[in-house]
A and B are shown apart, each in its own frame.
Chain A
Amino acid sequence: MLQHRTAGERIFDALLYALLTVAAISTVYPFLYLLVLSLNETTDALKGGLYLLPRKFTLENYLYVFQNDKLVRATINSVLRTVIQTVLSVFCCGMLAYVLSRRDFIFRKLFSFILVITIYVSGGLIPTYLLIKSLGLMNTFAVYIVPGIVSAFYIFVMRTFFEQLPEGLVESAYIDGANDFRIYTLIILRISLPVVATVALYVAVNEWNSWFDNYLYNSRNEKLAVLQYELQKMIQTVETNSSDSGDNNGPRIISPMTIKATLTILVTLPILFVYPFLQKYFVKGLTLGAMKD
C-alpha cells in the first residue's frame, strides 16, 4: 500500500522516529554509562565527565573483581543455582504437566484444583521462614533449589502445550511397550522444545536474578552468597561509607563506584548475551501465560 506521502505525514513519521529513538536510548544508555565507568581508570572516573567512551581505558576493575575470592565464589554459586534449578524445575514441572495433560488421569481434576489454590494462597514470609528453618535448610545451598522446584504457573503453561500434542502419540508408544515415564522423557520432552525453552528461560532468568532467599536464609554464611546479593549489599553500604574497602591488598586504588559499575555489568552480561537470540521464545511464553486464565 505504497502511495504518495504528504508533508504532514513525513513530519509525523519523523516525530515518531525521534520519539522512539529517545525511548530506546533512554533504556540502553544507563547500561552503557556503567560500562564506560567500569572500563575507566578509577581515580579518573571520580572526576566525572564520562559520557560515551572511557577516558583512561583499563581493565583493572574487572581484574579486581576476578581476583576477589568472594565475588568469584558468588559467581560460581549463581551459575550453579541457575543451572541446577533450571534442569530440575523444568523436568519436575514438566512431569506433573504431562500427567495432568492425560485426560484419563484419575486425579486430574483434584490435582489441578490444588495447584490453582497455590497460586492464590501462600503462607507468607514468616511461616515460610520458620518452615525452612525447621527443615534445616538455613545456611545451606539447598535452600536455593528445593523450595522453588515446583511452580504452578510453569506447570499450567506446559500442560497447555502438552494437551495440544496429538493423542495418538502416547497410544502408539504404549503399543510399542513404553511406560509413561519413558514416554515423558523420551518423546514428550523432546518434541516440546518451544515450551521447554520458554519455561527454562523463565526459570533461568528468575534464578539468576534472585537474591532475597540469600538475604533471608543464607546471609550468615558468606560462602553461599550469590552475585545479586553481593551487589545488593553494595548498594546499601556504599552510599553511606564510601571509604570502606576491607581487602585493598595493593597500591591500586579502587573506588566502590567503579566496582559497583563493574559488578552490575558482569551481572547483566549473561542476560545480554542470551536474550536477543531467544526473544521469540520469551514473547511466546508471555502469550502462553496470558492464555492461562
Chain B
Amino acid sequence: MKTNTMTDMETMRPSTNITAVRGSRFWKRVRKQHILLWMSVPIMLHLALFQFVPLWGWLMAFKDYNIGQSLWEAKWVGLEHFRTLLGHDDFIKALRNNFAMNTMQLLVGTLSSIGLAVVLSELRSKTFVRIVQTMTYLPHFVSMVVVANIFVMLLSPDNGLVNELLIKWGWAEEGIFFFGKATWFWVLHTIILSWKGFGWGAIIYLAAIAGIDPSLYDAAQVDGASRWQRVKYIIIPCIMPTVILLLILSIGNLMTGGFESQFLLGNVINAEYSEVISILALRLGLNEGDFSFGTAVGIFNSVVSLTLVLIVNAIARRYQANLF
C-alpha cells in the first residue's frame, strides 16, 4: 500500500517496530480526519446499499426463486436458467435486435455528427454557426418520451403530418402505419436516435477539428488544395483518432445497450424487431413474475457489456495509449 511519503518518513525514522507504528499511525490519521470520514461514510453507505446490495440478488439467477420466498430457502438450480436463456427464441431475437439497432445507430449517428462538425467548421459566419448549433443540440436535452411522442404523432396513420403530406403529394393512397410495419422498426429507430443525438455528438468532433494545427491549412493552401481536398486530406485524417476512440468506447454497448428508446417506440405489432434484451428482462422478469429468469437476463447483460468494455479498453490502451 502506498501511503503519503512525507508522513511516512517523519514517523518511521525514530521507530524500529514498523507494524506497531503503522497501526497507531492509522488510528491517529483516522482521528485527525474524522470530519472527512463523517462526510464520506454516509455516502459510501448509500452506495453500498443501492449499488452493492442488489448484487446479492444475482443469487436468484442460480436458484428457483418465487415471490414471497426468502432467497435462502430457494432451491439451487445451477446454470439451468442460463441454459434455457441461450436457447430461448425471444432471447435470440432480442440479441439480434440489440446488435442490429446499436450498430446501425452507431454508424449513422457517428457519420451525421462528423458531417455536421465538418460543415460547421468550414463556415465563416460565427453567428450562423452558433444558431445552427443551438438548434441542433436541442433534441439532446429533451426526454426520450417527448421525442417518441413527437415521432409517433408525426408518423401516425391518421392525422400524422408525414402521411398527410404523402397523400397530398400523391405518394401514398392512404395513411401508412409506420410503427406497424415490424421490419421498418430498425430504420425508424436509427433515424430517430440519430436525429436526437447528432448535434450533441458533433461537439466533440468540433473540438477535435479546432485542435488541428493551422499550419497544415496554410501548407495546403500553398499547394493549391481546394476546400473539398482540405476536408478530405486534412480534416478527416486529423479527426480519425478521435472517431476511432469514440467508436471503440461505444463497443461496450453494442450487444446489450439500449432500452428507453425501444421501449417507448416499440409496440405489440413491431415487438419482434423492437424488443431488446433489457425489455425482455422486464417482460419476463417483472411482468410475468419469473424473477430468476429475469435476473439471469440482467446478469447476461452486465457480463457481456463488462467483458466487451474490458477487452476494448485493453486494445485501446495498447494501440491508442496516447489518447488516454
Contacts and interface: CB of A to CB of B under 8 A. Distances in A.
A283 interface: yes
Q: Give chain B's interface secondary structure class.
A: helix
B109 interface: no
Q: Give chain A's interface secondary structure class.
A: helix
B150 A125 contact: no
Interface string A11-27: 01100110111011011
A20 B60 contact: no
A166 interface: no
Contacts of B319: none
Interface stretch (B13-21, B44-52, B84-92): B44-52
A111 B47 CA distance: 10
A181 B52 CA distance: 27
A123 B149 contact: no
Contact of B36 (A105, A120, A239): A105
Given A24-B131, A48-B159, A106-B36, 8 more contacts: A95-B43, A98-B39, A127-B56, A127-B298, A209-B146, A257-B153, A276-B134, A286-B200
B134 A279 contact: yes
Interface stretch (B97-105, B182-190, B277-285): B277-285
Contacts of A12: 227-228
B35 A179 contact: yes
B83 interface: no
A57 B133 CA distance: 31
A8 interface: yes
B66 interface: no
Interface of B: 2, 4, 7, 26, 29-30, 33, 35-40, 43-44, 46-47, 49-58, 60, 116, 119-120, 122-124, 128, 131-139, 141-146, 148-154, 156, 158-159, 161, 164, 195, 198-200, 203-204, 207, 226-228, 260, 264, 267, 278, 281-282, 285-286, 291, 294-295, 298-299, 301-302, 306, 309, 324
Contacts of B122: 16
Contacts of A26: 195
B36 A268 contact: no
Given A31-B138, A106-B30, A118-B51, A231 B132 contact: no
Most chain A C-beta atoms within 10 Å of own C-beta, residue among B53, B56, B146, B153: B146
A268 B119 CA distance: 28
A23 B136 contact: yes
Contacts of A124: 54, 57-58, 281, 295, 298-299, 301-302
Given A27-B199, A239-B267, A286 B51 contact: no
A127 B58 contact: yes
A286 B137 contact: no
Nearest to B57: A127
A115 to B, nearest CB: 7
A121 B302 contact: yes
A125 B119 contact: no
Contacts of A271: 141-142
B52 to A, nearest CB: 8
A208 interface: yes
- Complex A-B, nearest 10 residue pairs according to Cβ-Cβ distance, in ascending order: A123-B54, A127-B57, A124-B298, A209-B143, A127-B54, A24-B135, A180-B35, A99-B40, A118-B51, A96-B43
Contacts of B43: 92-93, 95-96, 150
Interface string A210-222: 1110001000000
B197 to A, nearest CB: 11
B263 to A, nearest CB: 8
B110 to A, nearest CB: 15
B324 A293 contact: yes
A165 B133 CA distance: 32
A17 B128 contact: yes
A257 to B, nearest CB: 6
Most chain A C-beta atoms within 10 Å of own C-beta, residue among B53, B228, B309: B53
Nearest to B299: A124
27 contacts: A21-B132, A23-B136, A27-B195, A27-B199, A33-B161, A96-B39, A96-B40, A106-B30, A111-B40, A115-B47, A121-B51, A123-B56, A126-B60, A127-B54, A127-B56, A128-B54, A129-B286, A131-B50, A150-B46, A205-B141, A228-B143, A264-B149, A267-B145, A268-B142, A271-B142, A279-B134, A282-B137
Interface residues of A, number: 92
B38 to A, nearest CB: 8
A63 interface: no
Interface string A24-68: 101110110110000000000010110000000000000000000
A281 B156 CA distance: 37
B37 to A, nearest CB: 8
Interface string A71-111: 00000000000000000000011011011101111110101
Contacts of A48: 159, 164
Contacts of B137: 275, 279, 282
Contacts of A184: 39
Contacts of B29: 106
A216 B46 CA distance: 21
Contacts of A264: 146, 149-150, 153
A150 B58 CA distance: 22
B45 to A, nearest CB: 10
Contacts of A123: 51, 53-58, 298
B312 to A, nearest CB: 12
Given A20-B128, A232-B145, A130 B324 contact: no
A176 to B, nearest CB: 15
A33 to B, nearest CB: 6
B198 to A, nearest CB: 8
